[in-house]
Amino acid sequence: MADPKVPRTGRRLLFVSKGVDSSSTRYRALQFFPLWQAAGFEPSHVTASGGAGALLAMLRQARQADIVVVLRKTFPPPLLWLLRRASHRLVFDFDDAVFCNSDGTPSRTRMARFAAMACACDHVTAGNAFLAARAAAFNRAVTVVPTCVDAARYRTAAEKPADTLDLVWIGSQSTRKYLVGAMPWLKQAAEKVPGLRLKIIADFDLPGCGVVTQPLTWRADTEARELAASHIGIAPMSDDDWSRGKCALKVLQYMAAGLPVVSSDAGANAEVIAEGETGFLVTTSGEWAERIARLASDASLQRRMGEAGRRRVEADYSVEPVFARWRSVVGGLF
C-alpha cells in the first residue's frame, strides 16, 4: 500500500505505459484526459521505460496518485511488488493478448507475468470479452472497456476517386503479416473489379501483392481524410489467441469514417461488425473477392453500410459512451 501520510484528493489518476506514442496509450488513456479533467479528476501519464531512472520516477508518482492504471505492461516480480506497495489503488488495463507470443503460441513466461499482474490489482479492465475471460481466471474484478475512437474526428468530407475502387488498410509493421496473408484474395478481387487499388496507411508498401498499391505514411492530421476518401475498409486477421486479443481498432476507424468493412470472421472484429449491416465477415479467399466485388458494384450499399457503421461507433465505441464505463470502474474503487 502507498504511504498513508501522503494527502489524497480522491481525484489523482496516474496512467503508466511503455511510451506516449504507443497506440494503447493514445486510445486508452490520453484521449480521455479532457473528459477526466472536465469531471474534476487530475489525470497524468508516466512512461515506465528507459531504465532505472524512469522506473524510480514512476514509483514516486504512483505514491502520490489515488489510482494507478498500468496500460498493457507487465512487470517482473520485484518491480511489481514495489509498484503494488506504492499504489493506493492499482488497475491493470490491457488491449492485447500479452499472455502469449505474437504468433499466438503459448508462453509460460508471459502467462506467469500476466497472472501475477492480474492477481496484484484491485481491478482489471480488458479491451474485449476474450481478454476479460482470460483475466477473470486470476481476478474476479474484471470489466470490459472496449477500445474506442473520437467519432467526431472522423466525420470529415473527402472526395472519393471515380476512376478507381479504393480498398484501404491502416496499420504498421507489427500487423503487416495480416496484409501479407491477404495477397491471394487481393489478386482474386483485382480480377473481379477493374480499377481496384489498395491504399496502405502505414510505414511500408507491399509491392507484388496482386493489386495496385498507394502507400501513405500515417499522420494524425491526415488519417481521417484519407480513410474518408476511400471506398471500403479491409481487416484481414488470423484466428489465434494473439489475434483474438486485438480490439478491432482499425474496424472502428473505418466505420467512424463512414466506410463499409470487409473483415476476417475472427476476434473482436466479429463482435463489432454487424454482418450484412455494417460490413461483411468472411473466411475464404473466394468470399473476400466476392464481397468486395459486390460492394464495388453497388454504391448505395456502400453508403448504407457506411452510415450504419458510423451510427454504431457513435453509440457504442466513441469516447463519451466508453468514458462512462471508465467512470464506473474508477467510482467503484473508492
CA distance 295 to 305: 10
| Judgement on whether residues 173 and 228 belong to the same structural domain of the protein | yes
List strands edge to edge, sheet with 123-126.
Answer: 42-47, 12-17, 67-71, 90-94, 123-126, 142-144
Shared-domain flag, residues 161 and 97: no
| Count of the separate structural domains present in the chain | 2
Note the pLDDT of residue 9.
56
pLDDT in tens, 191-228: 999 999 999 999 999 999 999 999 999 998 999 999 99
Looking at the structure, do residues 34 and 50 belong to the same domain, yes or no? Answer: yes
Does one domain contain both 312 and 327? Answer: no
- Is 7 within the bounds of a domain? no
Please report whether residue 180 resides in a domain: yes
- Cα–Cα distance list, 77 to 58, 85, 103, 301 (Å): 16, 12, 25, 53
Edge to edge, the sheet with strand 232-235 lists: 212-217, 196-202, 165-170, 232-235, 261-264, 279-282
pLDDT > 50? residue 313: yes
pLDDT at site 10: 64
The backbone torsions φ and ψ at residue 93, rounded to the nearest 5 degrees and listed phi first, read: -115, 130
Q: Is residue 264 within a helix (H) or strand (E), and if so which, with residue range?
A: strand 261-264
- Domain-located, residue 1: no
Phi, psi of 216 (to 5 degrees): -135, 130
Nearest alpha carbon to residue 121 among 134, 108, 107, 140: 140
User: The domain containing residue 322 runs over which residues?
Assistant: 12-148+318-331
Instruction: State whether 243 and 307 are in the same domain.
Output: yes
Count the helix, strand and coil residues of the chain and give each as a percent rounded to the nearest 5: 45, 20, 35
54 lies in the same domain as 100 = yes
Which 3 state secondary structure label does DSSP give 330? helix
Q: What is the pLDDT of residues 115-135, one digit of tens each?
A: 999 999 999 999 999 999 999
Same domain, 176 and 312: yes
- Residue 5 falls inside a structural domain: no
Shared domain for 222 and 253, answered yes or no, is yes
Answer yes or no: is 297 within a domain.
yes
Whether 156 and 116 share a structural domain:
no
Q: Could you tell me if 155 and 76 lie in one domain?
A: no
Residue 33 belongs to some domain of the structure: yes
Specify whether 141 is located in the same domain as 210: no
Assigned domain for 156 exists: yes
pLDDT digits (tens, 9 = 90+) for 39-60: 999 999 999 988 899 999 999 9
CATH of the domain at 78: 3.40.50.2000
Q: How confident is the model at residue 7 (pLDDT cuts 50, 70, 90)?
A: very low
| Same-domain check for residues 38 and 89 | yes
